[in-house]
């Protein structure tokens, strides 16, 4: 008599790139009783994924990713964590990547929004329901108001509004998700380098003695691009963001409420409180 093969319970697949966000999503899923299987991208994902059911996979092994997700009955899928664009010349694709070559080639052109849409559409067509990290770990989203002890004053609120306007204009051009504003003066905007390196530029500007930058002044403002694919790559802040903002001498961090994710929230709040920096969720 043939032995019946039992499928795993319906679960959540997590394609994990760098950072702690994949771990927070996995913990939140398990807390609700949802089984997870992490597809950990080699060279990107944290070793922390090994605390959960997981498989290490090279980025170019698309066929293996799909096979593992199906074997583990992952009907929902979260794609989370930071990932730099790979050097496609160095990748060694498997057969699954080759037969999906048109999709792979589409990842080499366009801005971030177009690339994210290609990724989501690809997995949708393969039968997976792609969901956002915030749909699984709802506590990751920033709410309205202060996160710690400190609050913005009226001058800071004017800078925040200017920053939101700048981020909206940048986002419409698919440029970036953040800007730094001090006394209505735009000190920096985020481009391909990311938030951390933008904050390094602000630190260097302050150290150079620029008269545009006073002692502990300026606000980092971060929010999504207009029409952004919300299921992947919502703006994210973590402890490193607070450290960099403090090094840059900023007064605070303003985040678009319900549109930005915070990882390691307790540490983020403690670092901000200790540095005298406000973190404020604002309705955009």
Q: Where are the beta strands (DSSP E) in 106-207?
A: 129-130, 145-146, 178-182, 185-189
pLDDT band at 267 (very low <50, low <70, confident <90, very high): very high
Whole-number pLDDT of residue 232: 82
**Structural tokens at position 150:** 């400190």
| Parallel/antiparallel/unpaired status of strands 219-222 and 252-256 | parallel
In whole angstroms, what is the distance from residue 254 CA to residue 237 CA?
11
Question: What average pLDDT is seen over the chain?
Answer: 85
CA-based end-to-end distance of the chain:
63
In whole angstroms, what is the distance from residue 12 CA to residue 31 CA?
13
Same topology between domain 11-136 and domain 141-282: no
The SS3 call for residue 253 is: strand
**Structural tokens at position 70:** 């199906």
Whole-number pLDDT of residue 251: 96
Whole-number pLDDT of residue 236: 92
DSSP conformation class of 48: G
Fold of 141-282: Cytidine Deaminase; domain 2 (3.40.140)
In whole angstroms, what is the distance from residue 40 CA to residue 46 CA?
8
For domain 11-136, give the CATH number: 3.40.50.20
Are 180 and 248 spatial neighbours (Cβ–Cβ below 8 Å)? yes
In whole angstroms, what is the distance from residue 117 CA to residue 223 CA?
18
Whole-number pLDDT of residue 3: 44
pLDDT band at 32 (very low <50, low <70, confident <90, very high): very high
Q: What is the dihedral of CA 89, 94, 95, 99, to 10 degrees?
A: -40
Partners of 56 in beta bridges: 40
Q: Return the closest-CA partner of residue 271 out of 260, 261, 263, 281.
A: 263
Whole-number pLDDT of residue 172: 80
CA angle 36, 39, 44 (to 5 degrees): 130
pLDDT band at 76 (very low <50, low <70, confident <90, very high): very high
**pLDDT, greater one: 271 or 43:** 271
In whole angstroms, what is the distance from residue 272 CA to residue 10 CA?
40
In whole angstroms, what is the distance from residue 69 CA to residue 12 CA?
9
pTM to 2 decimal places: 0.81
Whole-number pLDDT of residue 99: 46
CA angle 177, 244, 143 (to 5 degrees): 55
In whole angstroms, what is the distance from residue 275 CA to residue 247 CA?
10
**Structural tokens at position 254:** 């303003």
Can you give the residue ranges of every domain in the chain?
11-136, 141-282
pLDDT band at 83 (very low <50, low <70, confident <90, very high): low
In whole angstroms, what is the distance from residue 125 CA to residue 12 CA?
17
In this predicted model, what pLDDT tens digit does every residue of 202-259 receive, in sequence order? 999 887 766 555 567 899 999 998 877 788 878 999 999 999 999 999 999 999 999 9
In this predicted model, what pLDDT tens digit does every residue of 106-137 receive, in sequence order? 544 444 444 556 677 888 888 999 999 999 99
pLDDT band at 90 (very low <50, low <70, confident <90, very high): low
């Amino acid at each position: 008599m043939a032995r019946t093969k039992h499928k795993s319970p319906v679960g959540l697949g997590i394609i994990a790139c760098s950072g702690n966000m994949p771990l927070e999503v996995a913990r939140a899923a398990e807390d609700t009783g949802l089984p997870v299987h992490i597809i950990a991208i080699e060279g990107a994902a944290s070793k922390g994924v090994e605390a959960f059911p997981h498989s290490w996979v090279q980025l170019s092994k698309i066929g293996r990713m799909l096979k593992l997700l199906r074997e583990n009955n992952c009907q929902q899928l979260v794609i989370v964590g930071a990932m730099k664009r790979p050097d496609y010349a160095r990748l060694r694709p498997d057969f699954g990547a080759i037969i999906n070559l048109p999709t792979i080639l589409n990842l080499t052109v366009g801005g971030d929004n177009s690339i994210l849409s290609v990724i989501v559409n690809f997995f949708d067509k393969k039968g997976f329901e792609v969901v956002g990290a915030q749909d699984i770990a709802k506590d990751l989203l920033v709410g309205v108001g202060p996160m710690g002890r400190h609050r913005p004053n009226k001058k800071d609120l004017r800078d925040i509004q200017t920053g939101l306007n700048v981020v909206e204009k940048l986002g419409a051009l698919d440029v970036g998700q953040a800007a730094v504003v001090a006394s209505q003066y735009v000190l920096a905007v985020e481009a391909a380098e990311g938030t951390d390196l933008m904050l390094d530029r602000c630190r260097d500007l302050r150290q150079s003695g620029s008269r545009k930058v006073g002692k502990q002044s300026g606000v980092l403002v971060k929010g999504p691009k207009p029409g952004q694919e919300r299921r992947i790559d919502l703006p994210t802040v973590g402890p490193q963001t607070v450290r960099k903002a403090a090094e840059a001498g900023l007064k605070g961090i303003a985040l678009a409420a319900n549109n930005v994710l915070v990882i390691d929230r307790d540490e983020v709040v403690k670092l901000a409180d200790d540095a005298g920096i406000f973190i404020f969720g604002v309705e955009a």
